[in-house]
């Protein structure tokens, strides 16, 4: 039997790293029917929509997708394809494991954290009003009426909704993940001392949900302290659950702990569908150079194999990647002592090295 999977190559370095991951996944001997769907800037130019319905329909049909990164214009232009996809398919849990691999260049050994980021609410909700717009003016006057607080007239406004529903399901997901994966502790991360009604709600609901899991330790940390603690004593943490924006920022911090974005995989999971993608973006400056590290998307493929129940194949790919990292020869520039190391392997060369170990 072949698995039907939607493949979104993305842009920037996306197509090269996605191709490398596809080659590795196929080398496991498992059969896949890849349904290729493009999204992003070029699609927007041609079709007037960076995320056409055909992409969503394909994922709805296949239920599983693997995706390369997609560029989002900064400040202006279309809204993030990545955020829209997560919202449209209600992929509310973003799961980002940060695990040390022996041989990766990093200041830390033995990191084993899992970041669980809420994926649909918070400042990522996409409810924004441009400076001077009718919406911004109305909100400014409404806020003044309701709270007697002044917002400067020349302000742009982004809203931060955090609901009981959204928090409860992500925190429950984090505890269920901890239970299933024999993890010992869940830490809820927030800024409830300042944002009492959004982060405060996140904390209150987290505490309530934690009561249903007496065998798993629960604690909470304020986001700024959390960042410092992760740099100083990452070994004290296990599963972290965070609202959307903090989850985004801490994911890159977590990637930094294990040797960089080239090693940080991820999955966006909802009740109906799952989309696997690396934590990193499209690294446009390396587009087409066969230079970017494909391991994060390969490791996202490992997460996909586990999701499909193909645990043996997942272990084999994970071990093959670990062996390439340990040896340190066939790794890309970002994993070498210096970024201009002439012995840096190419993107496709990393795939060859992983495949040769997979079959040895
Ligand atoms: P980025 O993650 O693309 O790059 C950050 C740094 O890491 C850069 O120096 C880059 O060259 C390097 N890097 C990233 N991936 C790498 C890899 N696989 N191998 C080697 N080096 C790698 O972040 P950015 O520069 O802030 O974002 C670029 C674009 O990607 C933006 O348009 C952003 O919106 C988008 N983005 C997309 C996603 C996604 O598709 N899920 C996620 C994050 C950012």
Residue 88 and residue 126: Cα distance in Å, rounded? 12
Q: What pLDDT does residue 354 have?
A: 98
Residue 167 and residue 180: Cα distance in Å, rounded? 20
Kindly indicate the confidence band of residue 138, based on its pLDDT and cuts at 50, 70 and 90. very high
Q: What pLDDT does residue 73 have?
A: 87
| Cβ count near 178 (within 10 Å) | 23
Averaged pLDDT for residues 49-77? 93
Of all residues in the chain, the percent with pLDDT exceeding 90 is 94
Of all residues in the chain, the percent with pLDDT exceeding 70 is 100
Q: Is the pLDDT of residue 1 over 90?
A: no
Averaged pLDDT for residues 346-353? 98
Closest residue by Cα to atom 37, ligand 1, is 281
Q: What pLDDT does residue 77 have?
A: 79
Q: Cβ-count burial of 217 within 10 angstroms (0-12 exposed, 13-18 middle, 19+ buried)?
A: middle
Residue 207 and residue 179: Cα distance in Å, rounded? 17
Which atom, in ligand 1's list, is nearest to the CA of 277?
A: 41
Alpha-carbon distances of 248 from 72, 144, 266, 329, rounded to whole Å: 15, 31, 11, 31
Catalogue the active-site residues.
Answer: 124, 191, 224, 248
pLDDT tens-place string over residues 75-134: 777 888 999 999 999 999 999 999 999 999 999 999 999 999 999 999 999 999 999 999
Q: What pLDDT does residue 287 have?
A: 97
Q: Is the pLDDT of residue 346 over 80?
A: yes
Residue 178 and residue 192: Cα distance in Å, rounded? 24
Cα 281 to middle of ligand 1, angstroms: 3
Q: What pLDDT does residue 140 have?
A: 97
Q: What pLDDT does residue 307 have?
A: 97
Q: State the chain's mean pLDDT as an integer.
A: 96
pLDDT tens-place string over residues 241-297: 999 999 999 999 999 999 999 999 999 999 999 999 999 999 999 999 999 999 999
| Cβ count near 135 (within 10 Å) | 13
Q: Is the pLDDT of residue 228 over 90?
A: yes
Q: Is the pLDDT of residue 42 over 90?
A: no
The phi and psi torsions of 352 (rounded to 5 degrees) equal -60, -45
* Domains within the chain, CATH numbers bracketed: 1-99+263-360 (3.40.718.10), 106-111+162-258 (3.40.50), 122-161 (no CATH)
pLDDT tens-place string over residues 310-323: 999 999 999 999 99
* Ligand 1 pocket member 268 (CB < 6 A): no
* Ligand 1 pocket member 9 (CB < 6 A): no
Averaged pLDDT for residues 143-153? 95
Nearest residue to 29 (alpha-carbon basis) of 315, 360, 265, 359: 359
Pairing type for strands 128-129 and 31-36 reads unpaired
Closest residue by Cα to atom 34, ligand 1, is 72
Dihedral class, residue 66 (left if φ above 0, else alpha if ψ from -120 to 50, else beta): beta
Kindly indicate the confidence band of residue 65, based on its pLDDT and cuts at 50, 70 and 90. very high
Listed in order, strand segments (DSSP E) in 61-161 are 64-67, 93-99, 112-118, 128-129, 157-158
């Amino acid at each position: 039997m072949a698995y039907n999977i939607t493949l979104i190559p993305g842009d920037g370095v996306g197509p090269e790293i996605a191709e490398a991951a596809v080659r590795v996944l196929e080398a496991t001997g498992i059969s896949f029917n890849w349904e290729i769907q493009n999204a992003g800037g070029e699609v927007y130019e041609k079709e007037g929509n960076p995320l056409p319905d055909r992409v969503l329909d394909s994922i709805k049909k296949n239920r599983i997708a693997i995706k390369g990164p997609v560029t989002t214009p900064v400040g202006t232009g279309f809204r993030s394809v990545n955020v829209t996809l997560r919202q449209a398919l209600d992929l509310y849990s973003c799961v980002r494991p940060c695990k040390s691999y022996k041989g990766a260049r990093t200041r830390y050994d033995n990191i084993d954290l899992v970041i669980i980021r809420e994926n649909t609410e918070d400042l990522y909700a996409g409810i924004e009003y441009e400076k001077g717009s009718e919406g911004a003016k109305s909100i400014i006057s409404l806020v003044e009426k309701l709270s007697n607080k002044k917002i400067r007239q020349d302000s742009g406004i982004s809203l931060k909704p955090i609901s009981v529903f959204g928090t409860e399901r992500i925190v429950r997901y984090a505890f269920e993940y901890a239970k299933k994966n024999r993890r010992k502790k869940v830490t809820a991360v927030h800024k409830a001392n300042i944002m009492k009604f959004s982060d405060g709600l996140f904390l209150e609901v987290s505490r309530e949900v934690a009561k249903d899991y007496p065998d798993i330790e629960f604690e909470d940390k304020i986001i700024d302290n959390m960042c410092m603690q992760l740099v100083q004593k990452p070994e004290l943490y296990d599963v972290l659950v965070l609202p959307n924006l903090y989850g985004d920022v801490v994911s890159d911090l977590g990637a930094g702990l294990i040797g960089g974005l080239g090693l940080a995989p991820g999955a966006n999971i909802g009740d109906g569908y799952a989309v696997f993608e690396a934590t990193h973006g499209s690294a446009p400056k390396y587009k087409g150079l066969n230079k970017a590290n494909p391991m994060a998307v390969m490791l996202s493929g490992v997460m996909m194999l586990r999701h499909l129940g193909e645990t043996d194949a997942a272990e084999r790919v994970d071990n093959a990647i670990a062996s390439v990292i340990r040896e340190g020869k066939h790794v890309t520039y970002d994993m070498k002592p210096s970024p201009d190391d002439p012995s840096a392997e190419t993107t496709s060369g990393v795939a060859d090295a992983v495949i040769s170990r997979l079959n040895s």
